[in-house]
Structure 1
Amino acid sequence: MRKVFAFLMISLLVVVGLSWSVYATPEDYYKATGKKIEKFHEAPMLAELVKQGKLPPVEERLPKEPLVVVPEESVGQYGGTWRRVWKGPSDRWGIPRINQASLVFWDKNGEKFVPGLAKGWDILEDGKVYVFHLREGTKWSDGHPYTSEDILFWIEDILGNDDLTPAKPAWYRLLDRVEAPDPYTVKFIFKQPYALFLLQVANRGFTGAPKHFLKQFHPKYTPMEEIEKKMVPGVHNTWVDLFDDKSDFLESLDLPVLTPWKPVTDPTDQFYILERNPYF
């Protein structure tokens, strides 16, 4: 039987149209248009969860300075189910094409970079140092704060761990170190000028990983005897097997995400269903 990929429409703002304008913050939007954003709206199903006390108000779920996207034509209507052909787990890389978060994105024409999870960035020392300024108040799908620690964890404890990542990406081999001066600032420092780094960021996301969740499966943060209690005999032969399972965006239903949609069913089921991330 053909499998169907069912999405539930989720954004706090649904945009219709082929082109749009992007502003890094509401203040930038005000400076450009003279219009102030004084109230935020949300999908009716999320508003109902707020009424039930199951979610904080939308103002508490958004970053302090959220990204502003102005549609070319009009704001879309909430509701409905998006059904898409789904070929099963082997189709895993089809998901990020329509369900992605990133520090930096391409603009609608693919000509320049625009803000994402980072509200801005600085390129210093002729392209040797890249400084990203994260949005204060951004949260993972479980409501936990997203900070520079999540990017450091990904760089140092996942990519930098030879058991988890024996083959390093090319850009990582050019990296000297990553620093986090504060919770909302991340500095990538390369051994030499690296002019293509923003292209790598926009293409690959570079969001980091949810340290608060994954550290319970990493021996640097959790005693091995505790990790072994979470391993399933016949499935996990090493802690790496367990960590890989728990960090898999496709199969780990407990994994917090930053993307618009979050999986709620197993990818081998007849219908693979993703629901709204209320903190997107």
Structure 2
Amino acid sequence: MNLGIFKQIFRRSWILGLLGIWVALALNGCNPSQFKTQAAQVPQLVIGTTTDPKTFNYALIQENPNISGFTYEGLAVQNGTTGKLEPAMAESWEISEDKLRYVFTLREGLKWSDGEPLTVDDVVFSFNDIYMNKRIPTSNQDGLFIGESKAFPKVSKLDNRRVEFTLPEPFSPFLRTVAAGLAILPEHSLRQAVETNRSDGQPQFFSTWGTGTDPKKIVVNGPYTIERYSPSERLIFRRNPYYWRKDAQGNPQPYIERIVWQIVESPETLLIQFRSGGLDLQEIGPASFQLLKREEKRGNFTIQNGGPDSGTNFICFNLNKGRRNGKPLVDPIKSRWFNNVAFRQAIAYGIDRQAMINNTLRGLGEPQDSPISVQSPYYFSPKEGLKTYDYNPEKAKQLLLGAGFKYDSKGQLLDADGNRVRFTMDASSGGRPTITPKIKQDLGKLGITVDLRYLDFGTLVEKRSNTLDWEAYYGAITGGIEPASGSNVWSVNGSFHVFNQKPQKSKAPIEGWEYADWEKKIDDLYVQGAREFDEAKRKAIYAETQRLAQEYLPFIHLFNTLGLVAVRNTVQGVKYTPVFSSPDSYIWNGYELKVAEKK
């Protein structure tokens, strides 16, 4: 799990709607296979997505899926199959005995996609001038704040091939979250944008490499460059001729010359295009699994099951007690409900998660009870003692009554002052429309009225990070191996401490913001966990964070789907893993994928 993965709150859009009406549609409509016949016949892979990229600037990316897996690389990479770290831009590294110095040696002859040399100076620039630049506050910085002091590491050039990172204190996840979690960016292309201010006083960097930029000006170091972007249609990647990898025979990688990222309006249309042969590879959901499983042989594809998704689906309440310009961010009446632990626990007991798995997910999912991914060695399971909230509406009602709530003659839940319990729950307009109505239905049985509001991703991000004026929402966070990658979620000052968010530095301040003792305790434990190198002790520390999270429920976790991907049999080498977020889940080893000629 890297820092970029935590930038996004919404996971893959699984195809969960009624499919019968789509099956009847003609399969030869807007089909990317038509593009394939018009293009030069070179090895290419066609995949699909429902969203346009928001930016081509790696440091400013907040959405998934995004372009970074195609275009950028760091000093190290994580192997999606083994979970181990492997050399990338750096051919090797050394760690001092006191765990405070990391020295990376770059590969010889590295180049950017424009042919310019990639050097140690680029590494120093990437960290000192972008990632650790306080004038460019992004979620990347959360993983670079080390220890209680929240100090940055010091990054310095030793010689033409060696760069040194000096840490203020031992930081066990350094290699995974920093070396493999952050890409190297080109100094020769971006320094001017970092040092030049716009008319509003902000660095020009914030306006650099937007989606309107000529792709030829986007300089990358990953396996692919951006060749062409047609909004709402497609994004075309072309093999980077200067990419460093070669196979055992000395052949340059990647093997696939071009990747076409087809942009369509809905998950249902993606399914249609895959079934018609227009897409080579497509992540699928439980509803489409049953349909596609019957078509594997005829459609010349195979469905890979990667096991439980590494992310977490949840509902979350706004616990922020702050005020902006004298006005509370959250209605004080509702804020008292949301900040009542018994209320949150009652909500958790009142949601029938197993029914969601059985019905909506067609049994292709598992309950999720922890903020840490099940694939992580630090995951603390219910069998080990983690508290769970299995469906128990009677217990939910008892908790509510014990907390001073009451019922009127119509069975509606009222608080101690007679206020009817009713709140608005936000969700992505591109998310799972069958889940939120089920939550509304379940909570209705407790006498609670939930008003559902579907918003586009940009509006949701604005509310989470800037205006902070929301009540509850349904969403997801992607996960992975290393818990410390979630420091921006669990630090009380983190950029994605979403349930009790402080405003970003460039946004209007709020008054009266405060955090609970349990919030600070989890924050402190994450600092301890990052300082500890003994694996058994680290597991115990993160187990305690999970106990606290399940007791106080800042996130009410729901379920994990199984990670499923349908791969055309002409595509060779896909090693699908839901440990990464899409599209990295299936192109993490894109440099070794091949496309066989179709017969």
TM over 0.5: yes
Tell me which of 73, 90, 112 is aligned to 1:140: 112
For 2:145, the aligned partner's letter is R
2:77 to 84, 95, 105: 105
Structure 1 partner of 2:185: 209
2:155–2:163 Cα contact (<8 Å) kept: yes
Identify which of 224, 231, 234 aligns with 1:268: 231
C-alpha distance in 2 between matches for 1:154 and 1:250: 23
Match of 1:197 among 157, 174, 185: 174
Match runs of 1:87-98 below 5 Å: 87=50, 88-89=52-53, 92-97=64-69
- Aligned match of 2:46: 83
Rounded Cα–Cα distance in structure 2 between residues aligned with 1:141 and 1:80? 20
Per the alignment, do residues 202 and 177 of structure 1 end up closer, same or farther by CA in structure 2, a change over 3 Å counting? closer
In 1, Cα distance between equivalents of 2:211 and 2:176: 23
Task: Tell me how far 1:164 sits from its aligned partner.
Answer: 1.6
Correspondence for 2:145 among 163, 173, 177 = 173
- Residue in 2 that maps onto 1:120: 92
Task: Return 5+ residue gaps in structure 1 as ranges.
Answer: 9-44, 46-77, 229-235
2:341 aligns with none
The CA deviation at 1:268 is 1.8
Q: How far apart in 2 are the matches of 1:247 and 1:120?
A: 31
CA 1:267/1:134 → structure 2, altered by over 3 Å: closer, same or farther?
Answer: farther
Cα gap change, 1:190 to 1:218, in 2 (>3 Å): same
Taking the aligned partners of 1:79 and 1:128, their CA distance within structure 2 comes to 48
Match of 2:161 in 1: 184
Aligned-residue offset at 1:84 = 0.7
Higher normalized helix content (fraction of residues): 2
Q: Deviations over 1:167-201 (max 9, x none)?
A: 66233222331111112111111111111111113
1:218 matches 2:194:
yes
Tell me the residue number matched to 2:219.
256
Aligned Cα root-mean-square deviation (Å)? 3.5
Change (3 A) 1:126 1:199: same
The answer to whether the 8 Å contact 2:74/2:184 transfers is no
Report how far residue 267 of structure 1 moved: 5.7
Query: Which stretch shows the higher mean deviation, 253-262 or 81-90?
Result: 81-90
SS in 2 for 1:127: coil
Tell me the TM-score normalised to structure 2 length: 0.30
Distance 1:132 1:138 in 2: 14
Deviation of the 1:276 alpha carbon:
1.4
Q: Secondary structure at the match of 1:171?
A: helix
- Of structures 1 and 2, the larger Rg is shown by 2
Q: Do the aligned residues in 2 keep the contact of 1:251 with 1:266 (CA within 8 Å)? A: no
Deviation at 1:132, TM superposition (A): 0.7
TM-score normalized with structure 1 length: 0.59
Structure-2 separation of matches of 1:201 and 1:110: 19
Contact 1:250/1:267 (CA < 8 Å) preserved in 2?
no
Q: Indicate conservation of the 8 Å contact 2:103/2:163, yes or no.
A: yes
Mapped to 2, the partners of 1:247 and 1:99 lie a distance apart of: 13
Change (3 A) 1:101 1:249: farther
User: Does structure 1 conserve the Cα–Cα contact (< 8 Å) formed by 2:193 and 2:205?
Assistant: yes
Residues 132-183 of structure 1 deviation map (CA, whole Å, 9 limit, x = unaligned): 1001210000000101111111212112322222666233222331111112
2:53–2:211 CA contact under 8 A, matched in 1:
no
Q: CA distance change for structure 1 residues 198 and 255 in 2, over 3 Å: closer, same or farther?
A: same
Deviates more, 1:189-198 or 1:259-268: 259-268
Equivalent pairs: percent with the same residue? 26
Contact 1:179 1:186 in 2 (8 A): yes
TM-aligned CA distance change 1:249 to 1:130, over 3 Å:
farther
Q: Is the 8 A contact 1:101 1:207 kept in 2?
A: yes
Moved more, 105-114 or 208-217: 105-114
Amino acid at match of 1:163: R
In structure 2, what residue type is equivalent to 1:182? D
Bigger mean CA deviation after superposition, 139-148 or 270-279: 270-279
Partners of 1:157 and 1:213 in 2: how far apart?
Answer: 13
Contact 1:245 1:252 (C-alpha < 8 Å) held by counterparts: no
Alpha carbons of structure 1 residues 252 and 103: separation in structure 2 relative to 1, 3 Å: farther
Structure 1 partner of 2:135: 163
Report the AA paired with residue 207 of structure 2. Answer: D
Contact 2:101 2:166 in 1 (8 A): yes
CA distance in 2, matches of 1:154, 1:122: 20
Q: Does structure 1 residue 153 correspond to structure 2 residue 125?
A: yes
Conserved 8 A contact 2:144-2:178 = no
Unpaired segments ≥5 residues, structure 2: 1-28, 55-62, 147-151, 244-599
Question: Once the 2 structures are TM-superposed, how far is the Cα of residue 117 of structure 1 from its aligned partner?
Answer: 1.0
* Cα offset, 1:105, TM superposition: 1.8
How many residues align? The count is 197
SS of aligned partner of 2:225: strand
